[in-house]
A = this chain, B = another copy of it.
């Protein structure tokens, strides 16, 4: 995307934050792998060392949330108990153990005039992370950004403010131990909502990329108002299409896992599509298994003709990301019908086909233009860890730069390095 010259405004409540991030990014861009790993491991040590302090901060957040009548699910996301605490520490060490993408030559070629051209991975620069209640996002995002050589500005949810502040202090300690600038990881020290507006405005051109992580309302606002590029996803209305060429057992296993393994993740299936050619042969087993797993089925008229227990699906159901034990179901006219349904109702996140048919598989994988398309696999594999990226900062459903899981490598860009021996252009 095009760059804008930073011109730090001094009236802003985040005055200086962008400029300091930009300066830290310059140092981090050329930091060695050893330095970055040392900072991450020192940060992990600091988190472990300050356990009591962090748990106390978390307790204060939880108390305040309860006092504000926060719901159970949100309270749960907010809470850091013993096991989760160890997970936070380990996640930082895991990112330190990942290969460093910076400096890697993506490709390299020689020109007839002897010029050697290579595209070398370099950090993006300054990343702004806007997220909600999970405090572990603070350490996950900080780790992934530091590893990829990016400075990060963290704007966490007010519910987790105390916990995130305590975790951020540990990161600053780690950066200092490794001789890296503390401003490489900044945490917005205010719950003032105006701060989000300033970040979305790009902090006078200092922000290269904004990553929202949270509910639909937050992401929608970021996508609507951001004046800098945004990497993220709004919704995951993921589909599993059971083709005429599908093996029943595989179809049952995949549909049930895609929907029910965890219903609250963005890669969980929200709609099952079935080729009307196998509606009679395959649907009874699929619906039986879904119901046995505790899933409610909302189906179109054609399916309900053979499945009296299915509730009727409204047009709205096919647009809905339930994130719950509910699945919409529709009969379609083969793989083309499935692709048309997904093009109309899908969100470009993850969509899968179950089939043994070569032609149907190729058609689906070619024509369904989602960030992730799958053949004979559960949509719940839509995850950076499952992809082998090591850690992910989120899933991107946009068209540019990166699609699907975003890990340390996806947080880099490249520069063109041209090596000559005195060549001039005729």
Give residues in A with beta carbon < 8 Å to B. Answer: 1-4, 26, 29-30, 103, 109, 111, 115, 117, 122, 124-125, 208-209, 219, 222-224, 229-234, 247, 249-250, 253-254, 256-258, 261, 343, 348, 365-367, 369-378, 380-381, 386-388, 396-401, 403-405, 413-425
Contact = CB atoms under 8 A, between A and B. Distances in A.
The A interface is mostly helix, strand or loop, or mixed, namely mixed
B124 A400 contact: yes
Contacts of A232: 2
For this chain, the copies found in one complex come to: 2
Given A381-B420, A399-B413, 11 more contacts: A2-B222, A2-B231, A2-B232, A26-B343, A254-B422, A370-B415, A375-B418, A376-B421, A377-B422, A381-B418, A403-B415
A373 B420 CA distance: 11
A373 B109 CA distance: 15
Contact of A223 (B2, B233, B378): B2
Contacts of A415: 369-373, 403-404
Contacts of A125: 399
Nearest to A420: B377
Nearest to A103: B366
B373 A1 contact: no
Given A400-B208, A423-B378, A424-B378, A416 B233 contact: no
Contact of A422 (B371, B376, B388): B376
Given A375-B418, A403-B416, A425-B378, A348 B253 contact: no
10 contacts: A2-B398, A3-B348, A3-B399, A229-B400, A375-B418, A376-B422, A376-B423, A380-B424, A401-B401, A403-B414
Given A372-B415, A418-B372, A253 B109 contact: no
Given A231-B1, A424-B253, A419 B375 contact: yes
A3 B388 CA distance: 25
Which of A124, A234, A401 gathers the greatest number of chain B CB atoms within 10 Å?
A401
Given A29-B369, A124-B399, A422 B2 contact: no
